[in-house]
Amino acid sequence: MIKNGISAFVHERRCNDTHAAEPYSGLADDYHTLLGDLAEHTWRVGVLPEAAQIRPRRSAVVVDLGAGTGIGGRLLATHMPSLTRIGVDRSPAMLALATNAYDRTLLAPIEALPLGEESADLMLSGFDTLNYLPIPVLGQCLREVWRCLRPGGWLIADLSSPHLLRRHWRDHSEVQELRDGTVHWHHRYEPAMDRCVSVVERRDAANTTCWTETHIQYAVDADQLQELAAAAGMHVERVRDLERDHYSPSAFTHVWTLQKKAR
């Protein structure tokens, strides 16, 4: 009886305290249920096959940029178990769920990596993390990747396409059902900033708002990414659609493979 009373109180208080949260603070709890399958698919058909193709040495150090709840780290542990895995993310709520997926987790922005020079062989970034960086910050992140990679090291990342952000999500709403409520997404493209602003709202079973978060993702054109990469000292080795071997601008997701050049 007492336990039920406490749990009802906690639940009610949470959803009466409507607040705008940092991205991936409220969402962290429901991330696996809502987005886990899609994120895992992106890793399985995008990032992991590219990583297998470059054949990292057995003792390689791999850094997961925007590790989230550790979906990539767990897949790496299964498919490339000899690698040392480091997960980096700026969201404490997401990273708290990722600790068993990596040898080490670092709470940090990926544009200022707390890693030594030439300390990693491979950097991976799954499920559109790099779209969260404004273009100058993406350039800074690529320079950090260059600094922390050993010569000849690789970055493999998937990005949501400009087509998805500018057209498909121009003004797009959807609702996801959960056991104890719903999650409402509204995506709106802002031409002036060339970015998509997504408002995520969690409601409980009584339709009371528990929290809202705003996620901002920037459109990155292919030639823009190539220029940023070149300026950072990274060479674009290949880019393809997530689901295909070739590149088409209308795909929703592209997978990029970059290599650190000697300066």
**Letter for the amino acid at 129?**
T
The CB-of-135 to ligand SAM minimum distance in angstroms stands at 13
- The answer to the question of residue 72 lying near ligand SAM (CB under 6 A) is yes
- The answer to the question of residue 157 lying near ligand SAM (CB under 6 A) is no
- The answer to the question of residue 144 lying near ligand SAM (CB under 6 A) is no
- Element (DSSP H or E) covering residue 255: strand 253-260
- The answer to the question of residue 110 lying near ligand SAM (CB under 6 A) is yes
* DSSP character at residue 207: -
- The answer to the question of residue 73 lying near ligand SAM (CB under 6 A) is no
The one among 15, 39, 157, 164 contacting ligand SAM by CB under 6 A: 39
Q: Which is nearer to ligand SAM, 28 or 251 (CB)?
A: 28
User: What's the CA gap between 154 and 175, in Å, rounded?
Assistant: 37
Residue of minimal CB distance from ligand SAM? 68
The one among 73, 126, 153, 162 contacting ligand SAM by CB under 6 A: 126
Q: Which is nearer to ligand SAM, 48 or 210 (CB)?
A: 48
**Joined tokens for residue 165:** 């952000």
Stretch that binds ligand SAM, among 74-82, 104-112, 176-184, 193-201 (CB under 6 A): 104-112
- The answer to the question of residue 91 lying near ligand SAM (CB under 6 A) is yes
User: What's the CA gap between 89 and 110, in Å, rounded?
Assistant: 7
Phi, psi for residue 242 in degrees, rounded to 5? -60, -40
**Joined tokens for residue 200:** 């995520």
- The answer to the question of residue 253 lying near ligand SAM (CB under 6 A) is no
- The answer to the question of residue 111 lying near ligand SAM (CB under 6 A) is yes
Q: Which pairs from 29-36 meet CB under 8 Å and 24+ separation?
A: 29/93, 30/178, 30/183, 30/202, 31/68, 31/69, 31/94, 31/97, 32/69, 33/178, 34/176, 34/178, 34/183, 35/127, 36/69, 36/71
Stretch that binds ligand SAM, among 89-97, 147-155, 191-199, 229-237 (CB under 6 A): 89-97
User: What's the CA gap between 185 and 175, in Å, rounded?
Assistant: 6
Q: How many residues belong to the site for ligand SAM (CB under 6 A)?
A: 20
User: What's the CA gap between 18 and 202, in Å, rounded?
Assistant: 10
Q: Could you tell me if 75 and 156 are in contact, meaning their C-beta atoms sit under 8 angstroms apart? A: no
- The answer to the question of residue 109 lying near ligand SAM (CB under 6 A) is yes
The CB-of-235 to ligand SAM minimum distance in angstroms stands at 23
The one among 15, 48, 62, 71 contacting ligand SAM by CB under 6 A: 71
Binding site for ligand SAM (CB under 6 A): 24, 39, 66-68, 71-72, 89-91, 94, 109-111, 126-129, 132-133
